[in-house]
Amino acid sequence: MKKPGFLSAMWVGLALVAGGVQAHDDAYLDTVKTAHGGQLRMAGMYHFELVVEKSAKGARDNPVVVYVTDHAGTSIPTAGSSGTATLLAGKDKTVVTLAPDGDNRMKGSGKYASATGLKAVVSITLAGKAAEQARFTPLAAMADEHMEHKH
């Protein structure tokens, strides 16, 4: 009977899967240098990179761009896709409609300011697929950088 070998192999497999899952948590993704300077998050089997305006002092019409890739960083075509980005800053809420804009890019614009507390929920439905969603704090790194800055 070879159950001990099977159980050992099963535990090793589970450990590898668990390690892979942990490698893609938000803390890890925040350490990844992104191609477009945005924040990276997992959305099902995809990665979404959210890029927002970083220097808008007051609420005004600003771009919102989301790049869609797989976990290896390969571009996922967005033709025929639809999506939204809901931006929350304090009591202000803006819903931006995202439309395909290039190979793996979704783009829209909406009224928001570049506040460090800005939060975003991005939902994208790729052509023929179910909607995928990710949550972002796209300007949190600016707050961290400012905290480390010595006056």
* Higher pLDDT, residue 137 or 7: 137
Judge whether 75 lies within some domain: yes
Q: Give the range of the structural domain holding residue 88, as residue numbers without chain letter.
A: 22-148
Q: How far is CA 27 from CA 31, 41, 77, 102, 121, in A?
A: 7, 10, 27, 29, 17
Question: Residue 93 burial by CB count (10 A; 0-12/13-18/19+): exposed, middle or buried?
Answer: exposed
In angstroms, rounded to a whole number, what is the distance separating the alpha carbons of residues 116 and 114? 7
How confident is the model over 25-79, as pLDDT tens digits? 889 898 889 999 999 999 999 999 999 999 888 889 999 999 999 999 999 999 9
| pLDDT reported for residue 4 | 55
The domain tally of the chain equals 1
Of 141 and 55, the one with more pLDDT: 55
Is the pLDDT at 96 greater than 60, yes or no? yes
CATH number at residue 140: 2.60.40.1930
Confidence band for 3, pLDDT divided at 50, 70 and 90: low
Tokens of 25: 């948590």
Q: Give pLDDT, residue 58.
A: 82
Q: Is 96 within the bounds of a domain? A: yes
Q: 14 lies in a domain?
A: no
Q: Exposed, middle or buried, 101 (CB in 10 Å: 0-12/13-18/19+)?
A: middle
Pairing of β 39-43 and β 46-52: antiparallel
Predicted model pTM: 0.79
Residue 33 lies inside a defined structural domain of this protein: yes
Residue 39: inside a domain: yes
Identify whether 30 is part of a domain: yes
Residue 41 lies in a domain: yes
pLDDT of 139 above 50: yes
Distance CA 88, CA 111 (A): 11
4-13, 49-58, 116-125, 139-148: which has the minimum mean pLDDT?
Answer: 4-13
Domain contains 123: yes
